[in-house]
């Protein structure tokens, strides 16, 4: 009850908008670049440090990791040269057993490896000596703070503690099970590569690095989720991407105060500019090649451990109509496909509503032959057109949802059989008209042509809104819906970039919006991103055109 | 502080052009034909020229006060009280024009497509929609106009060009309509038909400088003049002038006559979307401008709390007209014939006052 009064009160009383919007302005890049490099990852609190007494460290580690209650956390105590106490801590199945046994424990337990050093230097810099001469491991670092040690161990690393030292050695030993690299499931192409991301963050980064072999590709790791501490990698091109965008992405990710961020989907919702709007403000891809293209044009990519997708910001609406296939086709084919997808989007959104408006309000606008066909088919239908349409749309959604839930080939079969039998039976039983089945089916098929899953879903939901508006006011209602949706959509920004740029607002000409010009004419990066380097190709790109007879002039 | 956002020149041109040309879909062309006969197609060009002249004074006034909008320019030039009166009368006129446009739209819609729906239902949906969109600010409205601008112009030209086989060149005669004097006089008086250009001056801070306003203003009046003239010419060529005077929406009738083969018989569906969307944009920007003027006059920092009361006011104003005839013959006629008094006269007075004050300051220095 109190909540209702609070809402009513806020409706009638004025409250100033406190939220400060992020705007991507030109000229602020340099300042942001300096700030970005120096102070973005400041740790405010000084964490608890290691003790020289190994017993204290062991007790602290056991306390922090809840040992022995936590039964998959293994602590192996041993003595170096039979006198210096040491232990390693790691998590079973998160760390690789072979690495620990053969390349960490075996060398450490062989006295000849450390005996010579201890004879000459007593203890001195034993940790450095072990790292330089004993361990056959490619990556490790010294660490003094418990918080970072715990984080690394939880990530599959191994921590080596030695008595008398206020620091430990964090050794890379990740070895958890992961899926191999497979073909992308949602972004299939005919001519492009067939590699997709998997759930392993490091593998995904390596797939991108394999394409973008450039020292300017920066990868920064940020932990997200207070309890889960999942790694999130932020990738960008140092001399290309606008530092304001990088700073803003990192600021938003670092300021999420929640226990668990279960993958990129949740993170996207947390950091989107306008999470209440339906249109996507972040672009996801499961293809390394597409992620690489997005990086090169000046976007920031972020990937979350456990999610086989990369997310790119800022984006525009037109990018949601692009398929990875476009990059491997000639420009005229790509342009045709994009126009086709735009048309499919409009059909998905408006066709059911238009049908309803025509049959309920504007019969005089239907050509006579078509009107007769619709009238005959609806003659014996007992339901009003709106109910008939909503019933069939819901049936179509049920079939689609079942097709996803029912495993494997059975799902596809269920979809086809369901649609065929249900449609045929409904027409035979004179519950729905055949024309309506066509309208619903065409709308449903068209929705699959939209490459972005998020956009497709939004359009499917919005379609019901248009059905409602068409039912109450025909074309006028649909027009009201178009203007509502249109103005609300153009007001959306993706990390400061208007989502309908470069058309609304008009920014400098971009050769790859709906119509795609030939690749050799696409010299510039999107103006709306305010990249540090505006050119992505030379002038001309095809320099060989200037040479005659194959010789340089 | 009122945060209205920034718009580019292209967005401004699209927005103002759509706002001006919308009236071609309603009763105005038929009313014009009733007054000047067959010369309507160039009467509107005379009105456009007059509006350009009026806009020149507005531009000169803004040039005197760079980085200020029209409301502030009024206050700076003629003082707080007179500026208040000028601004309030402009705001009131714009709100009244919005209400008449909404009602005119509802009446025409009722005649052609929704005969059983009461006007309150149609205007109710309209007012709710534009009030909701006002919360998003001025910038998205201009952006949407830019986004759909080309589509609307394309659809408009499709309707005009598709009717080409119904055109009869002899219907344009007599060329001077009911007489050259009457034609020119009405052309000059009806300059308020292009009065929407004043939006640029009220929203001057959203545009990037006076030069942008000048270019956007003249281009949008010019483009609108061509489009309106084309449409009036199209239906002058299609219908005999005595018949055309009787139509509620001549453009709608024009679209209904299109026939190519058995299937492509009528282009009304294209027309309805073109008509509704451009009316929504036009009324939306006018409604927003009236709220913005009110907030600027009374130094209200946030327009959001004002939207709801203004929406109620707008709905009440749309319901004042008794019927379609009352709206068309009474209210629309008043707006077209006397609108220039609110739109173009105060800027001239303000400009003269600004010049005198400036001269006085220079002399006293």
Dump strand ranges (E) for A287-337: 300-304, 310-313
The answer to whether B104 touches B27, Cβ cutoff 8 Å, is yes
CB pairs under 8 A between A and B: 110
Per-residue pLDDT tens digits for B225-264: 999 999 999 989 998 888 888 888 888 888 888 877 776 6
| A112 CB-near residues (< 8 Å, 6+ apart) | none
Residue A551 has pLDDT above 60, yes or no: no
Question: Nearest chain B Cα to A493, which residue?
Answer: B140
Task: Look up residue A11 and give its two tokens.
Answer: 């409706």
Q: Is there a contact between B143 and A361 if contact means CB atoms under 8 Å apart?
A: no
- Comparing CA positions, the residue from A318, A73, A18 lying closest to residue A326 is A318
| A50 CB-near residues (< 8 Å, 6+ apart) | A57, A144, A145, A146, A149, A161, A165, A166, A167, A168
User: Which pLDDT score, from 0 to 100, does residue A251 have?
Assistant: 93
Is A137 exposed, middle or buried, given 0-12, 13-18 or 19+ CB atoms closer than 10 A?
A: middle
User: Which pLDDT score, from 0 to 100, does residue A44 have?
Assistant: 39
Smallest Cβ–Cβ distance between A475 and the set B146, B276, B304 belongs to B276
User: Which pLDDT score, from 0 to 100, does residue A7 have?
Assistant: 65
| Domain spans, chain B | 9-364
More confident residue, A29 or A116: A116
ipTM score: 0.91
Three-state helix/strand/coil letters over B333-358: HHHHHHHHHHHCHHHHHHHHHHHHHH
User: Which pLDDT score, from 0 to 100, does residue A38 have?
Assistant: 46
Per-residue pLDDT tens digits for A143-195: 999 888 988 888 889 999 998 888 999 999 888 777 888 888 888 888 888 99
- What distance separates the 2 farthest-apart alpha carbons in chain A? 104
The predicted model gives A61-80 an average pLDDT of 86
- Comparing CA positions, the residue from A275, A279, A352, A273 lying closest to residue A320 is A279
Question: Nearest CA to CA, how far is B108 from chain A (Å)?
Answer: 12
In angstroms, the Cα distances linking A400 to A17, A350, A411, A460 are 41, 19, 9, 12
| Domain spans, chain A | 54-171, 201-315, 329-494
Half-sphere exposure of A346 (CA within 13 A, CB side): 7
Confidence of residue A114 (pLDDT cuts 50, 70, 90): confident
CB contacts, 8 Å: A368 with chain B: 262, 265
Residue A50 has pLDDT above 80, yes or no: yes
CB contacts, 8 Å: B122 with chain A: 473, 476
Tokens 């001077």 map to which residue?
A: B176
* Per-residue b or e along A8-36, where b marks 16 or more CB atoms closer than 10 Å to that residue's CB: eeeeeeeeeeeeeebebeeeebeebbeeb
- Comparing CA positions, the residue from A197, A309, A300, A204 lying closest to residue A252 is A300
Question: Nearest chain A Cα to B304, which residue?
Answer: A14
CB contacts, 8 Å: A475 with chain B: 113, 269, 272-273, 276
In angstroms, the Cα distances linking B345 to B17, B92, B340, B359 are 22, 15, 7, 21
Question: Nearest chain A Cα to B271, which residue?
Answer: A475
Mean pLDDT score of chain A, rounded to an integer? 84
CB contacts, 8 Å: A491 with chain B: 136-137, 139-140, 143
User: Which pLDDT score, from 0 to 100, does residue A36 have?
Assistant: 52
More confident residue, B10 or A410: B10
Q: Is there a contact between B262 and A367 if contact means CB atoms under 8 Å apart?
A: yes
Smallest Cβ–Cβ distance between A365 and the set B7, B11, B268 belongs to B268
The predicted model gives A509-516 an average pLDDT of 74
Q: What are the two backbone dihedrals, phi and then psi, of residue A311, each rounded to the nearest 5 degrees?
A: -115, 135
User: Which pLDDT score, from 0 to 100, does residue A123 have?
Assistant: 57
Q: Is there a contact between A370 and B263 if contact means CB atoms under 8 Å apart?
A: yes
Question: Nearest chain A Cα to B282, which residue?
Answer: A483
Q: Which CATH architecture best describes the domain B9-364?
A: Up-down Bundle (1.20)
Task: Look up residue A73 and give its two tokens.
Answer: 């956390």
Confidence of residue A472 (pLDDT cuts 50, 70, 90): very high
User: Which pLDDT score, from 0 to 100, does residue A151 have?
Assistant: 85
Per-residue pLDDT tens digits for A314-329: 999 999 998 888 888 8
Sign of CA dihedral A96, A97, A102, A107: positive
The answer to whether A233 touches A220, Cβ cutoff 8 Å, is yes
Q: Is there a contact between B117 and A503 if contact means CB atoms under 8 Å apart?
A: no
Residues in chain B: 365
User: Which pLDDT score, from 0 to 100, does residue B82 have?
Assistant: 92
Residues (pLDDT < 50) of chain B are: 1
Per-residue pLDDT tens digits for A218-243: 899 898 888 888 889 999 999 899 99
Smallest Cβ–Cβ distance between B277 and the set A482, A503, A506 belongs to A482
Question: Nearest CA to CA, how far is A142 from chain B (Å)?
Answer: 51
Smallest Cβ–Cβ distance between B114 and the set A361, A482, A505 belongs to A361
A476, A477, A498: best to mutate for the B interface, most B CBs within 10 A: A476
- How far apart are alpha carbons A539 and B311 in whole angstroms? 55
- How far apart are alpha carbons B350 and B82 in whole angstroms? 9
User: Which pLDDT score, from 0 to 100, does residue B121 have?
Assistant: 94
Q: What does the DSSP assignment read for A467-503?
A: HHHHHHHHHHHHHHHHHHHHHHHHT-EETTEETTTTT
Residue A46 has pLDDT above 50, yes or no: no
The predicted model gives A527-537 an average pLDDT of 85
- How far apart are alpha carbons A262 and A255 in whole angstroms? 16
Question: Nearest CA to CA, how far is A473 from chain B (Å)?
Answer: 8
User: What percent of chain A is modeled with pLDDT above 90?
Assistant: 31
Question: Nearest chain A Cα to B305, which residue?
Answer: A14
């Amino acid at each position: 009850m109190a909540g209702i009064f609070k809402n009513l009160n806020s409706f009638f009383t004025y409250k100033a908008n406190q939220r400060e919007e992020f705007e991507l302005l030109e000229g602020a890049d340099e300042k942001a670049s300096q700030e970005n490099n120096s102070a973005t990852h400041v740790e405010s609190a000084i964490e608890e440090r290691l003790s020289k007494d190994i017993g204290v460290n062991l007790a602290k580690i056991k306390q922090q990791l809840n040992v022995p209650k936590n039964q998959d956390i293994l602590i192996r105590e041993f003595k170096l040269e039979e006198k210096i106490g040491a232990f390693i801590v790691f998590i079973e199945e998160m760390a690789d057993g072979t690495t620990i046994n053969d390349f960490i424990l075996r060398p450490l337990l062989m006295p000849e490896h450390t005996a010579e050093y201890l004879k000459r230097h007593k203890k001195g810099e034993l940790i450095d000596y072990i790292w330089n001469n004993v361990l056959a491991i490619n990556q490790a670092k010294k660490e003094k703070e418990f918080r970072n040690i715990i984080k690394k161990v939880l990530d599959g690393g191994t921590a080596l503690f030695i008595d008398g030292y206020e620091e430990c050695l964090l050794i890379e030993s990740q070895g958890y099970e992961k899926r191999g690299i497979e073909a992308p499931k949602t972004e299939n192409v005919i001519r492009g590569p067939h590699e997709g991301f998997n759930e392993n963050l490091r593998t995904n980064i390596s797939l991108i690095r394999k394409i973008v072999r450039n020292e300017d590709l920066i990868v920064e790791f940020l932990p997200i989720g207070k309890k889960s501490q999942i790694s999130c990698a932020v990738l960008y091109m140092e001399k290309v991407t606008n530092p304001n965008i990088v700073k803003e992405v990192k600021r938003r990710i670092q300021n999420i105060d929640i226990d668990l961020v279960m993958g990129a989907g949740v993170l996207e919702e947390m950091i989107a500019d306008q999470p209440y709007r339906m249109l996507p403000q972040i672009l996801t891809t499961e293809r390394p090649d597409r992620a690489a293209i997005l990086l090169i044009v000046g976007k920031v990519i972020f990937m979350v451990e456990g999610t086989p997708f990369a997310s790119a910001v800022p984006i525009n609406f037109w990018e949601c109509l692009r398929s990875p296939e476009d990059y491997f086709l000639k420009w005229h084919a790509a342009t045709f496909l994009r126009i086709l997808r735009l048309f499919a989007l409009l059909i998905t959104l408006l066709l059911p509503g238009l049908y309803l408006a025509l049959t309920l309000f504007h019969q005089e606008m239907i050509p006579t032959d078509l009107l007769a066909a619709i009238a005959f088919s609806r003659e014996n239908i007992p339901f009003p057109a709106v109910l008939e349409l909503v019933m069939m749309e819901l049936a179509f959604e049920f079939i689609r949802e079942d097709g996803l839930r029912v495993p494997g080939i059975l799902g596809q079969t269920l979809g086809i059989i369901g649609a065929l039998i249900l449609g045929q039976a409904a027409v035979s039983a004179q519950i729905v008209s055949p024309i309506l089945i066509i309208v619903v089916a065409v709308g449903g098929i068209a929705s699959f042509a939209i490459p972005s899953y998020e956009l497709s879903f939004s359009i499917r939901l919005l379609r019901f809104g248009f059905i409602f508006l068409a039912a109450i006011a025909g074309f006028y209602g649909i027009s009201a819906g178009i203007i509502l949706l249109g103005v609300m959509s153009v007001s959306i920004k993706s990390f400061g970039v208007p989502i309908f740029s470069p058309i609304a607002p008009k920014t400098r000409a971009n050769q790859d919006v709906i119509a795609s010009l030939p690749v050799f004419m696409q010299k510039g990066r999107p103006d709306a991103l305010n990249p540090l380097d505006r050119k992505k190709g030379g002038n001309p790109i095809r320099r060989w055109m200037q040479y005659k007879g194959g010789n340089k002039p | 502080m009122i945060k209205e956002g920034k718009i580019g020149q292209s967005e401004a041109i699209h927005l103002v052009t759509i706002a001006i040309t919308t009236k071609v879909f309603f009763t105005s062309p038929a009313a014009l034909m009733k007054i000047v006969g067959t010369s309507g197609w160039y009467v509107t060009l005379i009105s456009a020229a007059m509006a350009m002249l009026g806009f020149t004074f507005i531009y000169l006034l803004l040039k005197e006060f760079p980085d200020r909008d029209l409301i502030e320019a009024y206050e700076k030039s003629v003082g707080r009280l007179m500026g208040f009166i000028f601004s309030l009368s402009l705001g009131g006129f714009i709100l009244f024009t919005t209400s008449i446009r909404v009602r005119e739209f509802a009446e025409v819609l009722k005649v052609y497509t929704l005969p059983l729906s009461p006007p309150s239902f149609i205007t109710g949906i309209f007012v709710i929609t534009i009030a909701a969109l006002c919360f998003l600010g001025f910038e998205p409205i201009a952006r949407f106009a830019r986004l759909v601008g080309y589509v609307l112009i394309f659809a408009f030209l499709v309707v005009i060009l598709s009717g080409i086989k119904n055109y009869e060149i002899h219907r344009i005669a007599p060329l001077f309509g009911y007489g050259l004097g009457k034609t020119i006089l009405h052309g000059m008086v009806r300059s308020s038909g292009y009065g929407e250009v004043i939006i640029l001056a009220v929203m001057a801070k959203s545009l990037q400088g006076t030069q942008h306003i000048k270019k956007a203003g003249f281009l949008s009046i010019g483009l609108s003049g061509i489009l309106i003239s084309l449409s009036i010419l199209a239906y002058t060529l299609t219908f005999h002038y005595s018949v055309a005077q009787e139509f509620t929406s001549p453009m709608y009738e024009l679209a209904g006559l299109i026939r190519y083969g058995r299937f492509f018989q009528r282009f009304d569906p294209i027309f309805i979307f073109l008509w509704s969307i451009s009316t929504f944009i036009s009324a939306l920007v006018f409604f927003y401008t009236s709220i913005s003027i009110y907030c600027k006059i009374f130094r209200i920092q946030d327009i959001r709390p004002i939207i709801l009361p203004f929406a109620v006011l707008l709905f009440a104003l749309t319901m004042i007209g008794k019927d379609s005839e009352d709206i068309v013959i009474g209210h629309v006629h008043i707006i077209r014939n006397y609108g220039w008094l609110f739109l173009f006269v105060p800027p001239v007075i303000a400009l003269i006052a600004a010049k005198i004050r400036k001269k006085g300051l220079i002399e006293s220095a």
